[in-house]
Amino acid sequence: MANHRSALKRIRQTNKRKLTNHYYAKTTRSAVRKLRETTDKSTAVEMLPKVSSMLDKLAKKNIIHKNKAANLKSKLTLHVNNLS
Q: How confident is the model at residue 2 (pLDDT cuts 50, 70, 90)?
A: confident
Asked if residue 32 belongs to a domain, the reply is no
Give the contacts of 71 (CB within 8 A, at least 6 positions apart): none
Asked if residue 73 belongs to a domain, the reply is yes
Element (H, E) at 80: helix 66-82
Amino acid at 65: H
User: How many domains does the chain divide into?
Assistant: 1
Whether the Cβ atoms of residue 43 and residue 73 lie closer than 8 Å to each other: no
Asked if residue 84 belongs to a domain, the reply is yes
Q: Give me the DSSP letters along 4-23.
A: SHHHHHHHHHHHHHHHHHHH
Q: What residue numbers bound the domain in which 56 lies?
A: 45-84
Supply the pTM of this predicted model.
0.86
Asked if residue 38 belongs to a domain, the reply is no
> In the predicted model, is pLDDT for residue 1 greater than 80?
no
If you average pLDDT over residues 39-48, what whole number do you get? Answer: 95
